[in-house]
Amino acid sequence: MLSVAELTSRFPRPGLLRAIVLRPARRVEPLLPESADLLPHGLSGDHAPEGLRAITLIQAEHLPVIAALSGSAATPARLRRNLVVSDLNLAALKGIPLQIGPDARIEITGPCPPCSRMEETLGIGGYNAMRGHGGWYAKVLVPGRLALGDAVVPILSDGLRGPS
């Protein structure tokens, strides 16, 4: 029988970077590039703060849930999270470094609750539709280039990479 520590270090496959969202400024239409530079302070061209909240991520599988709960389209641009990742449970990865593509590394630091703007974006109840599905904050560990389709791989505490 596997221990809890062993169970929490097992992932069936690497994740996949599905979307990159850059928010040049508050209340400005976001950009959806095919690639972006991850700098020590966050994504080049994004207005996010530095440090523990430099990057925001959202689980791709949560977008249809948010759409169903809000009755409104839940697209990466509308939700304004920097990185949309599929195939990995982001909630299981807090505090575990993630390699994205060949060079970049980030670490999830905590939940990113929805902002009041989601009520405006998704309509009445949009804020509540996103509660529990709002995504995650992350800090930059190693800068690098990100591109759509990049693998997102947990780096386990023993230094080994997760599934590839």
pLDDT tens for each residue of 131-164? 999 999 999 999 999 999 999 999 987 555 555 5
Q: What is the pLDDT of residue 5?
A: 77
Average pLDDT over residues 18-41: 95
Give this prediction's pTM.
0.91
Average pLDDT over residues 91-120: 94
Q: What is the pLDDT of residue 164?
A: 56
16-154: which CATH number, 3.90.550.10, 2.40.110.10, 2.60.320.10, 2.40.33.20?
2.40.33.20
The predicted-structure confidence for 49-105, as pLDDT tens digits, reads as follows 777 889 999 999 999 999 999 999 999 999 999 999 999 999 999 999 999 999 999
Q: What share of the chain is helix, strand, coil (3-state, %, to 5)?
A: 25, 30, 45
Q: pLDDT category, 27, cuts 50, 70, 90? A: confident
Q: What is the pLDDT of residue 98?
A: 97
What are the residue boundaries of the structural domains of the chain, listed by start?
16-154
Contact 83, 31 (CB under 8 A): no
Nearest to 70 by CA among 20, 105, 121: 121
HSE at residue 129, side-chain half, CA atoms within 13 A, is 24
Residue 115, pLDDT above cutoff 70: yes
